[in-house]
Amino acid sequence: MKSVFQTSLLFLKNGATVVGLITAVLFQVFFNTIWLSGYDQVNERMNQLAVTIVNEDGAAAEPVAKSLAEGLHFAIKPSSTMEEARQMLTDRDVYMIIEIPSGFMQQAGDLSSPVAVKYVMNESNVATVKSVMQTVSAQVTATLNREVQQNSIRGVLNQSGMADDQANAIAVGLSSRVEAEVERLNPVYNFSFSMVPMLIVTATFTGAMLLGMNLQKVSGELRSRAGKWERFWARNIINVGAALIVSLVGAGMMHVMGVSSADGWWMLWLFQLLITLSFLSVAQLSLLLLGNAGAWLNSALLPLLMLSSGATIPRDVMPDFYQQIGHYLPATYAVEGMMNLVLGGDGISHDVLLLVVIGAATLVLGVLCTWIKRSGPAQSGIPLESKSAATPGALTGNLPSPDRG
């Protein structure tokens, strides 16, 4: 038992053990700080989700549309036609369309038939949106029923002088005359498909973190045998090869599990390849900036990417800080693009462009970091002849001279 205790002390005296303990603690700090602040009071901010009301019944239904807008307590974005509203819904600028159809008020005056109001919801979103919008549609239907009920009772009383008890009896019959007609845009029948964007962000960046840490370690070990530029470009070549393999495996696994895209498997794979390259570039930049401590920065980036990307909750209900920082992180465009490819949407050209821009920008910053840093000197006290003799023959061919600058 004594030897086990002594061995434990030897573990604790090793710097790698200390770094591992610090990393475990920092993961708790980063996830608690970022997620609990980001998700704080999300329910209270759900009213920031936008809906649009399309009044196709003209001036006759304007009071009803105005009453709905005032009573919903949600962000209302104007749209004049259903075509415009559908484009807003597809672009996720709004999360539901409430359509007051042509002839609505005339039908409301006909006591013999029900009145329909149409809701259009885009299911190419995080699951939270669907449940919230279903609640909103029920609320709107109830509000419209009250409006129709009041107008109908008022009309009956004005025209025939009907007694109050009779008016109340009619009101009971009218209270459920408005029926909800729901159209599901990009319907999602398998819940697991809606989790693909978060899966991609979490798995890809975690893999990029781990690969970057190992390449950083190898780069340090090769410092006396290869110059800084050779090591930098070698890392990037390995990153490209790793991205090809990782994205092929990821897209292949999704295909096996039944995940597909209307644009085809090749497009799904190519987009995942671009995501992986962008994530690898970001993870590498942290390490080039801070050395081994960059792994801790990447540990903070993981929960930040997962939150600010909109993979778990709509970005509209996040605090402003996370909404703004999300514009500059690749996960935001990875999530939007994957939603469009897997769940349905209006193309990925915008997301591809921004992922390329972010990947290129981080690569340029990596070049600057490498240029600013001095090259590592050859290991002191070991003559070049001795090192050459101690190096296996398979590794001595065509090695660059040690960088002393």
Round the average pLDDT of the chain to a whole number and report it: 83
Residue 105's pLDDT band (boundaries 50, 70, 90)? confident
SS3 for 118?
Answer: strand
Distance in angstroms (rounded) separating the CA atoms of residues 279 and 362? 10
Residue 403 has pLDDT above 60, yes or no: no
Helices and strands: H and E segment counts in the chain: 17, 5
Question: Are 59 and 147 members of one domain?
Answer: yes
Q: What is the mean pLDDT of residues 200-212?
A: 95
Residue 10 lies in a domain: no
Give the domain-ending residue among 136, 159, 185.
Answer: 185
pLDDT score for 402: 41
Question: Are 347 and 238 members of one domain?
Answer: yes
pLDDT score for 122: 92
Residue 404 lies in a domain: no
Give the domain-ending residue among 185, 219, 243.
Answer: 185
pLDDT score for 108: 72
Give phi and psi for 24, each to the nearest 5.
-60, -40
CA 220 vs CA 22, 231, 238, 282: distances in Å: 21, 9, 16, 19
Tokens of 260: 């597909």
Taking a C-beta distance cutoff of 8 angstroms, is the pair 334, 201 a contact? yes
Question: Are 215 and 361 members of one domain?
Answer: yes
Question: Are 179 and 208 members of one domain?
Answer: no
Residue 402 lies in a domain: no
Residue 381 has pLDDT above 50, yes or no: no
Residue 247's pLDDT band (boundaries 50, 70, 90)? very high
Provide the residue range defining the domain that includes 166: 47-185
Q: Which residue matches tokens 């390329």?
A: 356
What type of residue is 135? T
Distance in angstroms (rounded) separating the CA atoms of residues 36 and 24? 18
Residue 14 lies in a domain: no
Pairing of strands 50-55, 75-76: parallel
Residue 72 lies in a domain: yes
Q: Beta-carbon neighbour count of residue 59 at 10 Å?
A: 8
pLDDT score for 328: 95
Residue 7 lies in a domain: no
Question: Are 150 and 258 members of one domain?
Answer: no
Question: Are 72 and 120 members of one domain?
Answer: yes
Measure CA 246 to chain center: 20
pLDDT score for 168: 55
Residue 13 lies in a domain: no
Tokens of 9: 């002390």
What confidence tens digit (pLDDT) does each residue in 78-100 have? 888 999 999 999 999 999 999 98
Question: Are 224 and 305 members of one domain?
Answer: yes
SS3 for 97?
Answer: strand
Query: What's the number of domains the chain is made of?
Result: 2
> Model-level pTM greater than 0.85?
no
What confidence tens digit (pLDDT) does each residue in 291-305 have? 888 999 999 999 999
> What percent of the chain is modeled with pLDDT above 90?
50
Question: Are 338 and 248 members of one domain?
Answer: yes
| Mean pLDDT lowest among 63-72, 219-228, 376-385 | 376-385
Question: Are 153 and 216 members of one domain?
Answer: no
Question: Are 350 and 212 members of one domain?
Answer: yes
| Mean pLDDT lowest among 56-70, 135-149, 282-296 | 135-149
Distance in angstroms (rounded) separating the CA atoms of residues 227 and 386? 19
pLDDT score for 330: 96
